[in-house]
Chains A and B, each alone.
Chain A
């Protein structure tokens, strides 16, 4: 909901432009990563995932890049649309079921 996004960094992009959202993860043992999208008042929604044996994975209009050397993950959204406005956060899995979630970035799409 809105209260979750009060203290988040915000990325503002023009409609039609590409967006890049970054995430620094914490555990070098993490071997699976997910990007989630959370719209206002809703639960997080799975966007795309990547395993540590890959450095890039593409979906529909989205690409995730993984740099294990610097523990960095990025989400690229092509041709950003108004419906992409949301909070985006990454999650890392250092093993079993205990995911570590990032705090998120708010994406605002300007018409």
Chain B
């Protein structure tokens, strides 16, 4: 049981480049989400999914896309990276949509120059 696996751990992008942050979980969790963590701020929800084929926007969705073709995978795409997207990104999953807490991945530290 690997839990929630995120790749890569570190990434440096140039402004305007695109990339995909990968997230996979092996716990058969229906709910998956992406958060960003910035200094002095709590985790902020980017996008979430309540099951395969279903995604929705969170608090800060602009500049990011997601898809959920399988229960296991929930990739986050940066369409055209901007310095404001420099952050640490966490993928999280849970068995249901509330009341059970999340299992977080170890994070991806992204720097956009």
Contacts and interface: CB of A to CB of B under 8 A. Distances in A.
A97 B97 contact: yes
Contacts of A98: 45, 58
Contacts of A96: 97-98
Interface residues of B, number: 31
Nearest to B37: A4
Interface in B9-62: 31, 33, 35, 37-45, 48, 50, 58
Contacts of B104: 43-45
A51 B101 CA distance: 12
B106 A42 contact: yes
A34 interface: yes
Given A1-B107, A42-B106, A93 B39 contact: no
A89 interface: yes
Contacts of B43: 44, 99, 101
A42 B101 contact: no
B109 interface: yes
B98 A93 contact: yes
Interface string A58-83: 00000000000000000000000000
B105 interface: yes
B89 to A, nearest CB: 10
